[in-house]
Amino acid sequence: MATTADQLGISVVILAAGQGTRMKSRRSKVLHEIAGRPMVGFPVALARELSASEPVVVVGRDAEDVQAALAGQAKFVLQAEQNGTGHAVLCAQDALADARDAILILYGDTPLLRLESLRRMAEMLAADDADLVMLTSPEPLPGVVVRGADGRVSRIVELTDATPEEAEIREGNTGVYLVKPELLWKALAQVDDRNEQGEIYLTDVVGYATSQGHRVEALKLDSAEDCLGVNTRAELAAAAVVARRRKCEALMAEGVSIVDPANTYLDMDVTIGRDTLVEPGCVITGATVIGEGCHIKPHCTIEDSRLGDETVIGPSAHLRPGTELGRGCRIGNFVEVKNSKLADGVKADHLAYVGDADVGEGSSFGCGAITVNYDWDQKHRTTVGRDVKVGCNANLVAPVTLADGAVVAAGSTITTSVPEQSLAVARAKQRNIEGWRTRRREGGK
């Protein structure tokens, strides 16, 4: 047996085969997203950080979709018939044949566990010479922890099978166990489905272990939010609130200023550099990367984009996927940028659309300027050189190129390329009809 937690050979199995009927969804419960990540992706990420071995995910409903969502992150086994958590683990026995020192059992619908808790479980298994370490909640759960007169764990009782006295117990069973492989398989071979639900309970492993004289330890969580299970849409929303709060806290600890974390919506894979300020109402999703010293003003939406240092966005700007901004760019209110690469110092301060464009350093777009990138059949790119000035309400009909130093007059519709240092004017000549309003009032023409 290894003597330290770091030396433990831990294999991880994640149970993700439940029906999830209370979600009332056509999708598997574990594929519903929390902060931009499928729910089952959270325990998978923990497993990959904790253990060098590939985690095993037990799938059932929508197995192919779950496998696609986790491609390259885990290996999979099928629980064709849902006959309880113990049966689900048995389905993974062959896949876990190489498990060395311990098997960690996690759940695809419990996304908020912390890595620190799992490491503490490993430390207890190693230091205390325990055979099983279980994680418990400070609040009641469907299974409660029954302790003996000596205060040690005796067994787990499902509330559906509990006596009135047992139903009053406040310590809940999370179902997260770190257990020696030989004990796990021997116990599961002995338990049966003689209970109210007619299922093989994983919880019976604890009772078997204590009855056979094995040492069982329990680590009680400090907060019940860590083991929040998601079975309904309301619980999904509650878990998302916690995940986003933790994401904001982690970024603030690294030097990011977030004015109102409760009203800032960040996906788990978002990266933000130090000294960046994020104001309330912002939604930043996907694998967005924001540099240092940026200012994200209120009510911006940023999706799968990359922002250089000292860039200012908003308020109420929208950066769609594929946007890349250089250093010191300025994207103002009601500006939308999509699938475009803007070099250092590019400015579009208000009411503009830049889509499918490559824009050179120091260029600017006036109010109402847009790239016309779609011909009802396919998208076309606009190429804008360095130090180009696009006037207000100008339309750049792609494919088109504006060379370095070009200027587009306000109100122009540009359909052909503009040479370097040239002024392009493409608008109807103004005509003034004198006395028109007076004649109209008098009934004339």
115 in the same domain as 25: yes
CATH number at residue 370: 2.160.10.10
Does residue 93 sit within a domain?
yes
Tell me phi and psi for residue 346, to 5 degrees.
-75, 140
- Count of CB atoms situated within 10 Å of the CB of 162: 16
Q: Is the pLDDT of residue 1 over 50?
A: no
- Count of CB atoms situated within 10 Å of the CB of 37: 17
Q: Any alpha helices (H) in 302-426, and if so which ranges?
A: none
Q: What is the pLDDT of residues 123-134, one digit of tens each?
A: 999 887 899 999
195 in the same domain as 132: yes
386 in the same domain as 279: yes
Which are the catalytic amino acids? Answer: 350
Q: How far apart are CA 70 and CA 74, in angstroms?
A: 7
Does residue 240 sit within a domain?
no
Q: Is the pLDDT of residue 2 over 60?
A: no
Under 8 Å between Cβ of 1 and 130? no
183 in the same domain as 78: yes
267 in the same domain as 206: no
Under 8 Å between Cβ of 413 and 392? no
207 in the same domain as 118: yes
Residues of the domain holding 174 = 5-227
Last residue of some domain: 194, 227, 260? 227
Give the pLDDT of residue 194. Answer: 66
- Count of CB atoms situated within 10 Å of the CB of 67: 16
The most confident of the ranges 19-23, 83-87, 219-223, 403-407 is 403-407
Report the candidate in 164, 140, 165, 134 with the shortest Cα–Cα distance to residue 152: 134
Does residue 397 sit within a domain?
yes
Q: Is the pLDDT of residue 201 over 90?
A: no
Q: Is the pLDDT of residue 6 over 70?
A: no
Per-residue pLDDT averaged across 218-247, rounded? 97
* Mean pLDDT, rounded, of the chain: 94
More confident residue, 261 or 168: 261
Give the pLDDT of residue 355. Answer: 98
- What is the length of the chain? 445
Does residue 290 sit within a domain?
yes
Under 8 Å between Cβ of 193 and 199? yes
Tell me phi and psi for residue 36, to 5 degrees.
80, 5
Per-residue pLDDT averaged across 336-359, rounded? 99
**Helix, strand, coil fractions of the chain, as percent rounded to 5:** 25, 30, 50
Does residue 388 sit within a domain?
yes
Give the pLDDT of residue 221. Answer: 96
Q: How far apart are CA 297 and CA 319, in angstroms?
A: 13
What's the total number of domains in the chain? 2
- Count of CB atoms situated within 10 Å of the CB of 149: 6
Q: What is the pLDDT of residues 357-408, one digit of tens each?
A: 999 999 999 999 999 999 999 999 999 999 999 999 999 999 999 999 999 9
pTM of structure: 0.91
| Cβ-Cβ contacts under 8 Å for 259 (sequence gap 6 or more) | 277, 278, 279, 280
Q: What is the pLDDT of residues 75-107, one digit of tens each?
A: 999 999 888 899 999 999 999 999 999 999 999
pLDDT category at 259 given cuts 50, 70, 90 is very high
Give the pLDDT of residue 203. Answer: 85
Give the pLDDT of residue 127. Answer: 83
Query: What are all long-range contacts of 301-308, with beta carbons under 8 Å and residues at least 24 apart?
Result: 305/337, 308/344
Give the pLDDT of residue 165. Answer: 85
CATH number at residue 142: 3.90.550.10
134 in the same domain as 97: yes
Our separate counts of H helices and E strands in the chain read 8, 38
Q: Is the pLDDT of residue 445 over 80?
A: no
Q: What sign for the dihedral angle of Cα 395, 398, 400, 401?
A: positive
- Count of CB atoms situated within 10 Å of the CB of 413: 14
Give the pLDDT of residue 254. Answer: 98
The percentage of the chain sitting over the pLDDT mark of 70, rounded to a whole number, equals: 97
Angle at 82 between CA 78 and CA 84, to 5 degrees: 115
Does residue 442 sit within a domain?
no
* Helix 204-211 × helix 181-190 angle, to 10°: 100
Last residue of some domain: 175, 194, 227? 227
255 in the same domain as 222: no
Does residue 436 sit within a domain?
no
292 in the same domain as 215: no
Per-residue pLDDT averaged across 231-256, rounded? 98
Token pair for 379: 């998208």
| Cβ-Cβ contacts under 8 Å for 149 (sequence gap 6 or more) | none
Per-residue pLDDT averaged across 281-303, rounded? 99
Report the candidate in 146, 140, 153 with the shortest Cα–Cα distance to residue 229: 140
C-alpha separations of 117 from 112, 137, 443 in Å? 11, 12, 85
135 in the same domain as 13: yes
Give the pLDDT of residue 64. Answer: 96
Give the pLDDT of residue 5. Answer: 59
Per-residue pLDDT averaged across 436-440, rounded? 92
Token pair for 423: 């002024």
SS3 assignment, position 256:
coil
Does residue 435 sit within a domain?
no
Strand boundaries in 18-101, DSSP class E:
33-34, 37-38, 56-59, 75-78
Per-residue pLDDT averaged across 34-49, rounded? 98
Q: What is the pLDDT of residues 321-330, one digit of tens each?
A: 999 999 999 9
Q: Any alpha helices (H) in 195-344, and if so which ranges?
A: 204-211, 233-253
Give the pLDDT of residue 435. Answer: 94
Q: How far apart are CA 417 and CA 195, in angstroms?
A: 78
266 in the same domain as 223: no
Q: How far apart are CA 129 and CA 20, in angstroms?
A: 37
333 in the same domain as 203: no
